Chains A and B, each alone.
Chain A
Amino acid sequence: MAADCCYEVSQIAYVKLVLHALKHPSSAVNGLLLGRLRQDGSTATVEVADAVPLSHAQIGLLPALEIALIQIEEHFEAEGLSVVGYYHANERHNDLELGNAAKKIGDHIFRFFPRAAVLLLDNNKLQKLKTGKGRDPAVQLYTRDSSRSWRQTGSDGSNQLTLKEPAANIVLFDYISSEKWQQIVDFDDHLDDISKDWLNPGLFD
């Protein structure tokens, strides 16, 4: 998959994934990215329209992931969206390596969507948000290259990552200050109490 491709992350998806990570500061968190592929002539853009937080504990256990994949795919099919990627935030503050569990899940999504994106939360960039100097998204983008490994993009210019709404970081900072992360629900929470909705409707009202 050597063709260049842009990745545009919507504010909803971006804010959800950061809030999810902030809600569970002492463990790794992960989730799925939903979106679609848009072809404008020769450029392809993957629009990440939404994110569904998956779990915050025992990420390596697969049964819950399977159930989540089935239900999430089915739900979003009706909206014309499919699983286009995966996000992950590591347990340790300064760990910027894409772990094996994340790579395996990424591999699986790649089988169904070859331009799959894996976003890894970057805590250093997140910290810069406080000073108001952070304009870039606080995540790193990884895509599968032709050698079948996950490579971080940005170093050679191809596969750009952009935030669809430029003010997304400001909105995110607002939510962080108001402790919005306490309200976010992931699939794990749903399995513990099914009345909790992993779609997080009304989170941003």
Chain B
Amino acid sequence: MVGAEEAARLDRLEIQVENGGGGAWEYLCLVRKLKPRRSDKVLKHGLAILNDPKARSNLGGEEWTLYEQVAFAAFDCQQHNVAKVFSLSLPLPLHMCDCVAVLSKEFPGSLRVGRLEGMLLEAENSWAEAEKVYARLLEDNPLDQIIYKRKVAIAKAQGDLKVAVDFLNKYLEIFMSDHDAWRELAEIYVSLQMYKQAAFCYEELLLSQPTVSLYHLAYAEANESQCIEYSGFIILLFLRFLLTAFIEQVLYTMGGLENLLTAKKYYASTITLSGGKNTRALYGICLCSAAISQLTKGRSKEEKESSDLPSLAAEALLRDYKYRAPKKLPLLNSMLKNMKLSS
């Protein structure tokens, strides 16, 4: 997670380098530190340095780090981005192999270079070969976290999400404090619409890093999705069509109500942690409150929650939109009116 200031500095440097203003090495170092995915730019500017003998010798020992960085960027560019293949008229596979070849010559038998060789095979879609390389490396380095993660990546790249989930779970049994892995697992569960399991992952993250608002928000959204999932978009139905078969279904989903209450709680904590600035959390409170009041219609008044939170959230949203997105204010207003959160 990158801070706003550093992200701005990165963007500035990128524009500077793109327009020929120099600073390529500084840009590449910042990319290495912050880890955004800017593979096309890294490839372009990294190769420019590597292909210039004077610039390369200026780097001294850092030259090898650059080779590695450019290799990673080349792997990334080759696979996904069709459009980048349009604009970069470089023979990419040639450069990928070159970088890895140079590094293996300089550091024979190195684990780090061995991993690169595995990734090269992955980039060429030779999954079986890549797995062999990793298995061999794991024999000598059984606790190498990166290799385990590559195995998950191979499964994911082949579309075997269930296998990827399996591998990740096994990995997390050993390395249970790896936050990135928990996040990755949660995201895979969300893509499989297994919201309950995703919520469990976010619970682990919340336990170990309770002040990260992102996790509160994600947990709330996973809970709300769980409720929406089997009730079928309750809000939309209530707002547009008052009488449908779904209403009966919704009134019976007690599980739904609990999830909504949990979601509301964590949207609230997200707002606290982020100083009231998180738009998604504010919207989340509004949606949850509207859904909860629909679900608890007809129940006795004691069971109903009464708090100022929904109307405060609505007010905060209206204020924000008035100053920063005035064109969208009428839409927001009408949405909140329908939810009975504003008058």
Contacting pair B335 A70 (CB below 8 A): yes
Q: Which residue of A lies closest to B81 (CB)?
A: A25
Cα–Cα distance between A162 and B279 once the two chains are bound (Å) = 38
Instruction: Report the minimum CB–CB distance from B319 to chain A (whole Å).
Output: 11
Contacting pair A194 B235 (CB below 8 A): no
Instruction: Report the minimum CB–CB distance from A164 to chain B (whole Å).
Output: 23
Instruction: Report the minimum CB–CB distance from B132 to chain A (whole Å).
Output: 22
Contacting pair B79 A93 (CB below 8 A): yes
Q: Give the contacting residue for A69; candidates B80, B191, B236; CB below 8 A.
A: B236
Give the segment of B105-113, B138-146, B280-288 that binds chain A: B280-288
Which residues from 65 to 95 on chain B have a C-beta closer than 8 Å to any C-beta of chain A? 76, 79-87
Instruction: Report the minimum CB–CB distance from B80 to chain A (whole Å).
Output: 4
Contacting pair B190 A61 (CB below 8 A): yes
Knowing that A74-B335, A191-B279 are A-B contacts, what are 12 other residue pairs whose CB atoms are under 8 Å apart, sorted by A's residue number?
A25-B80, A58-B190, A62-B224, A63-B228, A64-B221, A64-B280, A70-B236, A70-B338, A71-B328, A74-B331, A93-B80, A127-B82
Contacts of A69 in B (CB 8 A): 233, 236
Q: Give the contacting residue for B83; candidates A25, A64, A67, A75; CB below 8 A.
A: A25
Task: Flag whether B192 is at the interface (Cβ < 8 A).
Answer: yes
Q: A74-B331, A195-B325 are in contact. Are A67 and B287 (CB under 8 A)?
A: yes
- Sample (24) of A-B pairs whose CB atoms are under 8 Å apart: A22-B83, A59-B191, A60-B191, A61-B222, A61-B225, A63-B224, A63-B225, A63-B280, A64-B280, A64-B283, A66-B228, A70-B235, A71-B328, A71-B335, A74-B334, A75-B331, A91-B191, A92-B159, A101-B191, A127-B82, A127-B85, A190-B325, A191-B283, A195-B325
Q: Give the contacting residue for A71; candidates B224, B232, B331; CB below 8 A.
A: B331
Contacts of A100 in B (CB 8 A): 192-193
The 8 closest A-B pairs by CB, nearest first: A60-B190, A25-B81, A25-B80, A62-B225, A194-B325, A62-B228, A61-B221, A195-B324
Task: Flag whether B321 is at the interface (Cβ < 8 A).
Answer: yes
Q: How many of chain A's residues touch chain B, expressed as a range?
A: 35 or more
Contacting pair B283 A63 (CB below 8 A): yes
Task: Flag whether B124 is at the interface (Cβ < 8 A).
Answer: no
- Contact pattern, B 130-170, Cβ under 8 Å of A = 1, otherwise 0: 00000000000000000000000000010100000000000
Which residues from 27 to 44 on chain A have a C-beta closer than 8 Å to any C-beta of chain B? 28
Q: How many of chain B's residues touch chain A, expressed as a range?
A: 35 or more
Cα–Cα distance between A197 and B225 once the two chains are bound (Å) = 25
Contacts of A22 in B (CB 8 A): 81-83
Cα–Cα distance between A75 and B335 once the two chains are bound (Å) = 11
Inter-chain residue pair count (beta carbon < 8 A): 112
Contacting pair B287 A101 (CB below 8 A): no
Task: Flag whether B35 is at the interface (Cβ < 8 A).
Answer: no
Contacts of B192 in A (CB 8 A): 60, 100
Task: Flag whether A12 is at the interface (Cβ < 8 A).
Answer: no
Contacting pair A26 B159 (CB below 8 A): no
Cα–Cα distance between A108 and B237 once the two chains are bound (Å) = 10
Contacting pair A92 B324 (CB below 8 A): no
Contacting pair B79 A108 (CB below 8 A): no
Task: Flag whether A6 is at the interface (Cβ < 8 A).
Answer: no
Contacts of A64 in B (CB 8 A): 221, 280, 283
Contacts of B86 in A (CB 8 A): 130, 176-177
Task: Flag whether A192 is at the interface (Cβ < 8 A).
Answer: yes
Cα–Cα distance between A156 and B331 once the two chains are bound (Å) = 42
Cα–Cα distance between A197 and B159 once the two chains are bound (Å) = 33
Instruction: Report the minimum CB–CB distance from A193 to chain B (whole Å).
Output: 8
Q: Give the contacting residue for B229; candidates A62, A67, A192; CB below 8 A.
A: A62
Best-buried of B193, B324, B335 by chain A (most CB within 10 Å): B193
Contacts of B236 in A (CB 8 A): 66, 69-70
Instruction: Report the minimum CB–CB distance from B194 to chain A (whole Å).
Output: 9
Contacting pair B233 A108 (CB below 8 A): yes
- Contact pattern, B 271-312, Cβ under 8 Å of A = 1, otherwise 0: 000000001100110010000000000000000000000000
Contacts of A130 in B (CB 8 A): 85-86
Q: Which residue of A lies closest to B280 (CB)?
A: A191
Instruction: Report the minimum CB–CB distance from A140 to chain B (whole Å).
Output: 16
- Contact pattern, A 158-192, Cβ under 8 Å of B = 1, otherwise 0: 00000000000000000011010100000000111
Cα–Cα distance between A112 and B191 once the two chains are bound (Å) = 25
Contacting pair B82 A123 (CB below 8 A): yes
Instruction: Report the minimum CB–CB distance from B92 to chain A (whole Å).
Output: 14
Task: Flag whether A95 is at the interface (Cβ < 8 A).
Answer: yes
Cα–Cα distance between A112 and B325 once the two chains are bound (Å) = 29
Contacting pair B221 A63 (CB below 8 A): yes
Cα–Cα distance between A53 and B272 once the two chains are bound (Å) = 30
Cα–Cα distance between A194 and B86 once the two chains are bound (Å) = 32
Contacts of A93 in B (CB 8 A): 79-80, 82
Which residues from 207 to 235 on chain B have a C-beta closer than 8 Å to any C-beta of chain A? 218, 221-222, 224-225, 228-229, 232-233, 235
- Contact pattern, B 311-343, Cβ under 8 Å of A = 1, otherwise 0: 000000000110011011001101100100000
